[in-house]
Amino acid sequence: MRIAIIGAGLNGLACAIMLKRFGLECTVFERGQGPRDSGTGIYVWPQAMQVLRFVLKNRDFLGRGQPIEFLDTHDKQGRLIHSQPVRPEGLGIPAPAMMFLRTELFRLLAASLEEGDIRYGMGCERLEDLGDQVRVTFGNGQVADFDLLIGADGVSSTVRSFVDPSMIPYDTGLVASRGVVAFRSPLLHADRCQIFTSTHSRVVTYPLNEATSLRYWFAAYQHRNQPLLDRAGLLELFAPLPEELLRMIGVTEEKDILTHKLKALTGEGHWFRGRVVMLGDSIHAMLPTLGYGLTLGLENGFMLAQALVGHCDNSLESALRRYELRAAQRSRDMLKVMRDMTDLYYFEREGEVSKARLTPIVQRFHHLAQSTVF
Ligand SMILES: Cc1cc2nc3c(=O)[nH]c(=O)nc-3n(C[C@H](O)[C@H](O)[C@H](O)COP(=O)(O)OP(=O)(O)OC[C@H]3O[C@@H](n4cnc5c(N)ncnc54)[C@H](O)[C@@H]3O)c2cc1C
């Protein structure tokens, strides 16, 4: 079977390795001219750590990240409101959650592929259903036919408009600024993600490398159709938060701060059409309120690979339907959990973030997270 994956993001790369590990040949086509060499941090839940353990073959990658065992929510003054263990007792989760530099994960995944597996400068522009094949026209004029095409081309996906043009990302009303900086403070701990809530906004921070004191922070707020804030604007908005957090943002170089509006999808609609199927942010871009977007994409990539190697009735459609059945509803439910948690943090009346309000949402999250591919 000739398989094309559109997009060399983390999901496209991981999916290519999974397919190859299952004995299926594939090529990744990326619009960009080369590998990604910038980015900030990314939180990987234990569910995805197990997928990565399979994909990367050994445990060496565990040494490249920082384990995170708790997600703590604080109020404006820095007082602890709620502490959520990443691996609740009794669930027997056999992997830690970890924080990685995105570039590190890209490097690890790309190193598991061979030269020629990824083709850069190949933006997918048009798809055509030929019945027994799908035809791709690339931006450079090249045309190629495949038995299966996987759209892992992110939230602004071109492939999605072929599969289901009715699926359009919505503006979540939020902006996120992200930064990486060497910073230490007694307020900030080595084994946990710390969330500091403010008025319709929050600052979240994780250690990236405790040994080098590298730290990732993430600040999100409602944009209200106003211009996006620079560093000085963030310091003003978050002035009520503990001084140490402001110092952390203040010492981050402006060039190392990445800011953009957050878009998301509901996951509703068709996940495949004919020989074309969707994966990752292209189909379920979600609010990063619990940092689950990549984890969900890796879980779904694993399900897709399983469906493709496991079907015995010689019909690609039945394999893709099986993938959609296993992945779509769970993803929609997870998107809904993320929206509810987002509403609580960013859109409800001030003071609503409490242990009593967070606990039921966190329980729904853990219930869904438990039904993972491992
Ligand atoms: C602020 C923020 C913080 C986040 N934090 C976390 C976190 O801590 N943990 C977590 O799990 N998730 C997090 N996420 C979500 C996570 O980043 C995404 O879920 C994940 O990176 C999606 O990967 P992807 O490969 O599906 O898509 P992308 O990373 O968007 O990759 C898509 C690729 O396709 C390429 N492409 C696009 N169009 C075409 C085309 N027509 N032809 C060829 N190539 C094309 C692009 O160049 C790109 O390389 C966060 C998201 C945001 C916005």
Question: For 221-263, what is each residue's pLDDT tens digit?
Answer: 999 999 999 999 999 999 999 999 999 999 999 999 999 999 9
Rounded to the nearest angstrom, the distance between the alpha carbon of 269 and the centre of ligand 1 is 20
User: Which residues lie with the beta carbon below 6 Å from any ligand 1 atom?
Assistant: 6-12, 29-32, 42-43, 123-124, 152-154, 158, 176, 178, 262, 280-281, 288, 291-295, 297
Cα 130 from Cα 184, distance rounded (Å): 58
224 located within any domain: no
Question: Scanning the structure block, which residue is given the tokens 């399900």?
Answer: 303
User: How many angstroms separate the alpha carbon of residue 275 from the centre of ligand 1?
Assistant: 23
What's the domain range around 151? 3-170+264-371
Q: Which of 10, 138, 177, 193 for mutating ligand 1's site (highest number of atoms within 8 Å of CB)?
A: 10
| DSSP secondary structure of 274-329 | TTEEE-THHHH---TTSS-HHHHHHHHHHHHHHHHHH--SS-HHHHHHHHHHHHHH
Q: What interhelical angle do 293-310 and 316-342 show, nearest 10?
A: 170
> Does some domain include residue 51?
yes
Nearest residue (CA) to ligand 1, atom 39? 153
Rg (CA), the chain: 21
Please give the full DSSP string across 46-63, using - where no structure is assigned.
Answer: HHHHHHHHHHS-SSGGGG
Res 314: pLDDT:
84
Distance from C-alpha of 298 to C-alpha of 23, rounded to nearest angstrom: 18
Reading the block at residue 173, the tokens are 């009303």
Mean pLDDT over residues 74-99, rounded? 93
19: part of which helix (H) or strand (E)?
helix 10-21
- Would you state the pLDDT for residue 90? 87
Distance CA 12, CA 18 (A): 10
| Nearest-angstrom CA–CA distance, 117 and 124 | 16
Query: Distance (Å, rounded) from C-alpha 205 to C-alpha 209?
Result: 12
Domain-embedded: residue 223: no
pLDDT of residue 15: 98
CA distances to 7, 260, 285, 340 from 334, rounded to whole Å, are 23, 23, 11, 10
Best CA proximity match to 153, nearest among 308, 302, 10, 259: 10
% of the chain exceeding 90 in pLDDT: 95
Residue 186 in any domain: the answer is no
Name which of 31-40, 150-159, 217-226 the model is least confident about. 31-40
Backbone angles phi, psi at 241, to 5 degrees: -80, 165
202 within domain boundaries: no
End-to-end CA distance of the chain: 26
Position 15 in a domain: yes
**Number of domains comprising the chain:** 1
Residue 229, in any domain of the structure: no
Q: What is the pLDDT, as a whole number, of residue 178?
A: 96
Position in ligand 1 atom list of the atom nearest CA 42: 8
Question: Can you tell me which atom of ligand 1 is nearest the CA of 138?
Answer: 42
131: left (phi over 0), alpha (psi -120 to 50) or beta: left
Length of the chain (residues): 374
Q: What is the DSSP letter of 213?
A: T
Q: How does residue 36 score in pLDDT terms, banded at 50, 70 and 90?
A: confident
Say what the pLDDT of residue 253 is: 96
pLDDT tens-digit map of 257-313: 999 999 999 999 999 999 999 999 999 999 999 999 999 999 999 999 999 999 998
d(CA 295, CA 26): 22
| CATH number of the domain within which 94 lies | 3.50.50.60
> Residue 290 phi/psi, 5° resolution?
-120, 15
pLDDT digits (tens, 9 = 90+) for 163-204: 999 999 999 999 999 999 999 999 999 999 999 999 999 999
Residue 37 has pLDDT above 90, yes or no: no
What pLDDT is attached to residue 179?
97
Output the pTM of the full model. Answer: 0.97
pLDDT-based confidence at residue 123 (cuts at 50, 70, 90): very high
What is the 8-class DSSP label of residue 95? S
Whether 138 is covered by a domain: the verdict is yes
Nearest atom, ligand 1, residue 220 CA: 1
pLDDT of residue 100 exceeding 80, the answer is yes
**Residue 91 pLDDT > 90:** no
CB atoms within 10 A of CB 115: 5
Distance, CA of 37 to CA of 324 (rounded, Å): 33
CA distance 67 to 17: 24
The overall average pLDDT reported for the chain is 96
CA 137 to chain centre: 28
The predicted structure's pLDDT at residue 290: 94
Please tell me the distance between residue 293's alpha carbon and the centre of ligand 1 in angstroms: 9
Return the ligand 1 atom nearest residue 176 CA: 1
The residue contributing the CA closest to ligand 1 atom 9 is 291
92 CA → ligand 1 middle, Å: 30
